[in-house]
Structure 1
Amino acid sequence: MIVGGGIGGLSTALSLHAAGLDCVVVEAARTLRPLGVGINLQPHAVRELTELGLGDALAGLGVETTFMTFADRHGNVILSLPRGRKAGYRWPQYSIHRGELQLALLAAVRERGVPVRTGVRFEDVAQDGDGVLVTLREGDELVRERADVLVGADGVQSAVRERLWPSGGPLLWSGIRMWRGVAEGEQIMDGATVLVGGSNRAGKFVTYHISARNPRLINWVAEVKVSEPGVVSAADWYRRGSSAEVSAHFASWKYRLADIGALLSATDRILEYPMVDRDPLPQWRQGRVTLLGDAAHPMYPIGSNGGSQAVLDARVLARCLATHDDAERGLAAYEEERRPPTSALVLAHRALPIEETITLVTERAPNGFGDIREVLSEEELAAMADAQRSISDADVRALNERESWSV
């Protein structure tokens, strides 16, 4: 039983089905609709989804990303990093609407006959020698159902995680507030670049196109540090933000690469939420219950890698369960493979590794520059590139040559 019908949960359902294992998805929302904003799928995730049969769907929905480009608040380019196939991977990187990706995964899950039960909320779990006994709420009724394994793929504020690890660490706020939206606008750069302007210490504005069907559709993200880091009790991912509030942080920008004001004005709904994560857990599993995706390792969304790591979790979990006779040994193998690298990624993201370099540019060239090499040394530029790759990339050769995880 998989708790959560998001990217991680649905990828898990597809992976388990492909490995010959029966599963069911339970999702608290009554209807799965194409909500949310943009997301990037890295080549390591695109490979796994392609092997699950979604290659054509991804190509038909998303934009194949060419570069990730960093600029100052004036629009002067600091660094451009090739992405996806331009970086040598056999698989693309895609910029795509999160809701459309979720619906594509859902369609594939249902097409393969995997049950997805909506309006069903996880309440509790108990274990005995025969597996797990899961308590669910359907409307006003509590029901108890048996499964061999329970997978908590229910997001940053996971109820399954809370049940397993009630003292497993609060939400930790970076002090950075984020605003996100989707709007139609004029083409930015080549129409396939993830463009990052400024630094979230003073103001960062990120833009990228997200639709193969509508080339004018742009996802934007604004990030501003407004407080010192601290603990928050909860985070509302669908709180409405104000265009005026966002505009105030960027009013002084002379940003020639994108029209920030026009994008804000064209956005129907702005979402506002804090940039949060949690401390890595020393263990995900208890018996036959484990965690996956943001429930296991929520990380700052600065490496375009959170959703991609959930896809990798799903594939490794299915492979480990399918290749071990005992479910608990399979879950232990899954955690042994996935917990160390994802814990390291959480901490690497928390360090905000490129912000110091971009801040240096602002300090050394507050009015802009002509040639970045007059501002940063080759060593500083190389360190910036390495820092971004450390939170986004897989080793190109290792990914290209690795054997398939399909079972």
Structure 2
Amino acid sequence: MRVVIAGGGIGGLATALSLHSAGITDVVVLEAAKEIRPLGVGINLLPHAVRELTELGLAPRLSDIGVPTGELAYFNHRGQLIWSEPRGIAAGYKWPQYSVHRGRLQMLLLDAVRERLGPDTVRTGHRVTDVVTENGKVIARVGDSSVGPCDLLIGADGIHSAVRKGFYPSEPAPLWNGLVLWRGTTRARPYRGGRSMIMAGTDVQKFVAYPISDPDDTGEVEVNWVAERPLDRQAMSRGDWNRRVSPDDFLHWFDTWTFDWLDVPDLIRRASVVYEYPMVDRDPLPRWTHGPVTLLGDAAHPMYPIGSNGASQAILDARVLASALARHDDPVAACEEYEAERRPATAKVTLSNRQRGPELVIKLAYERAPEGFDDVEDILPLSEREEIAARYKRLAGFDPEMLNNRPSYDVAASTK
């Protein structure tokens, strides 16, 4: 079976590795960028994604670049604790949760693809502009040339997917909810033990921070942070993570957020670089698979970066699709099985993220006590906080008991 993957991001590279693990080695990855470089800022890999990367044999490499997250904690805009919970191994999972630099993760996956499938597997400077199906085979158009024919083309080409656009030409631009994220990294002293992911804020304004490196010789770590609030102008570059801005553009909205455990304005002010990104997604699609062509990752289900699920869901897509392809002679039947499992699941996550997902506790705490509280139990009982957290884990596929006991997507393991 010959497979072409449009897109060399995390989803596309994880798919190539998953196919290789499933015994499908005639794979080509077409990446639009002329060179793949370690760009971007931090992301989180939840235990369900770490499980899949572990089963692909990448656990030691992932441990080298990631910080195992030990705690997730929510605070109000005054720095008062609303809810905290252990994460990863400390929460009873068999696999850790990692905070990593997105670019370093992409390079890790790229190196593994080149080692396992060959140095020419990933072809840079190849932007897929269209796909053509003829007699059950697929040809990818790349500018004035083409790649193919192949038995299956996987559109993993991001939120502005040309493959998706070919099937849904009238779909509007990514949908913006009026909020903007400013993202950056800053060298700083560790806080709350050094392995905590924190979210602080109100119903409309939020700050997220987590370390993505171990301490250096001075004791400082690289802290990834995200500042979020509505924008009083039209958002620029919907779906572009790499638009640079000055911290002065938004620092004034956070200049009083100095807590006894974290100095928010200092982190913003000292960032090495800051990116502006409108919070956008797309409506769930009625169909991903069109003959021997299917969608994956952000091309299939772009979602708000809430609940740390974007990259994790793309990795799950890759594993489910590869498992189905290894068990079916017909790639179309395999894609339909993959879609039947993954499309409803990711649609639920996308729609839940529009309602704040697990971050709902911040919104409720502010609505019920906008000036702060003496005891969070008086405004948001523990049982309600626990149910919000547990509900999202179940919906997104990383409830501890469910994940620990779920059969592997590895073909060899699933057929024993």
TM-score higher than 0.5 here? Answer: yes
- 1:376, 1:398 → 2: CA distance? 27
- Equivalences for 1:323-402 in 2 at 5 Å? 323-354=327-358, 357-386=361-390, 388-389=392-393, 394-402=398-406
In structure 2, relative to structure 1, the CA distance for the partners of 1:305 and 1:398 (3 Å cut) is: same
- 1:12, 1:334 → 2: CA distance? 13
Q: CA deviation at 1:281?
A: 0.2
- 1:240, 1:337 → 2: CA distance? 38
Q: CA deviation at 1:273?
A: 1.2
Q: CA deviation at 1:112?
A: 0.6
Q: Aligned pair 1:303/2:318, yes or no?
A: no
Amino acid of the structure 1 residue aligned with 2:230: K
Which residue number in structure 2 is paired with residue 119 of structure 1? 125
Q: Is the 8 A contact 1:72 1:358 kept in 2?
A: yes
- 1:231, 1:207 → 2: CA distance? 23
Which residue number in structure 2 is paired with residue 209 of structure 1? 211
Amino acid of the structure 2 residue aligned with 1:217: E
- Equivalences for 1:196-345 in 2 at 5 Å? 196-199=199-202, 201-212=203-214, 214=216, 216-226=221-231, 234-345=238-349
In structure 2, relative to structure 1, the CA distance for the partners of 1:399 and 1:382 (3 Å cut) is: closer
Which residue number in structure 2 is paired with residue 11 of structure 1? 14
- Tell me the TM-score normalized by structure 1: 0.93
Q: Is the 8 A contact 2:237 2:277 kept in 1?
A: no
Q: Is the 8 A contact 2:307 2:359 kept in 1?
A: no
Q: CA deviation at 1:337?
A: 1.1
Q: CA deviation at 1:319?
A: 0.7
Q: Aligned pair 1:146/2:149, yes or no?
A: yes
Q: CA deviation at 1:76?
A: 1.0
Q: CA deviation at 1:134?
A: 1.4
Q: Is the 8 A contact 2:200 2:362 kept in 1?
A: no
Which residue number in structure 2 is paired with residue 71 of structure 1? 75
Q: Is the 8 A contact 1:135 1:143 kept in 2?
A: yes
Q: Secondary structure of 2:250's match?
A: helix
Q: CA deviation at 1:167?
A: 2.5
Amino acid of the structure 2 residue aligned with 1:225: P
Q: Secondary structure of 1:361's match?
A: helix
Q: Is the 8 A contact 1:176 1:227 kept in 2?
A: no
Q: Is the 8 A contact 2:349 2:396 kept in 1?
A: no
- 1:227, 1:281 → 2: CA distance? 30
Which residue number in structure 1 is paired with residue 185 of structure 2? 182
- 1:373, 1:180 → 2: CA distance? 32
Amino acid of the structure 2 residue aligned with 1:209: P
Which residue number in structure 1 is paired with residue 137 of structure 2? 131
In structure 2, relative to structure 1, the CA distance for the partners of 1:331 and 1:232 (3 Å cut) is: farther
Q: CA deviation at 1:113?
A: 2.6
Which residue number in structure 2 is paired with residue 194 of structure 1? 197
Which residue number in structure 2 is paired with residue 27 of structure 1? 31
Q: CA deviation at 1:231?
A: 10
**C-alpha distance after superposition, 1:149-205 (max 9, x if no partner):** 000101111111111221345311111111000111111211111100113x43100
**C-alpha distance after superposition, 1:245-303 (max 9, x if no partner):** 22111123343331112211221210001000000000001100100001000111011
1:157 to 160, 177, 183: 160
- Tell me the TM-score normalized by structure 2: 0.91
Q: CA deviation at 1:81?
A: 1.7
- 1:36, 1:231 → 2: CA distance? 19
In structure 2, relative to structure 1, the CA distance for the partners of 1:357 and 1:65 (3 Å cut) is: closer
User: Which structure 2 segments of 5+ residues have no match?
Assistant: 412-416
Amino acid of the structure 2 residue aligned with 1:68: L
Which stretch of the first structure deviates more once superposed, 258-267 or 14-23?
A: 258-267
- 1:260, 1:86 → 2: CA distance? 27
Q: Work out the number of aligned pairs and report it.
A: 402
User: Which structure 1 segments of 5+ residues have no match?
Assistant: none
- 1:361, 1:144 → 2: CA distance? 54
Which stretch of the first structure deviates more once superposed, 362-371 or 331-340?
A: 362-371
- 1:340, 1:19 → 2: CA distance? 24
Q: Is the 8 A contact 2:289 2:336 kept in 1?
A: yes
Amino acid of the structure 2 residue aligned with 1:326: D
Q: CA deviation at 1:58?
A: 0.8
Which residue number in structure 2 is paired with residue 83 of structure 1? 87
Q: Is the 8 A contact 1:169 1:279 kept in 2?
A: no
In structure 2, relative to structure 1, the CA distance for the partners of 1:301 and 1:143 (3 Å cut) is: same
- 1:59, 1:256 → 2: CA distance? 31
Amino acid of the structure 1 residue aligned with 2:76: D
Q: Is the 8 A contact 2:11 2:297 kept in 1?
A: yes
- 1:369, 1:66 → 2: CA distance? 26
Q: CA RMSD in A?
A: 2.1
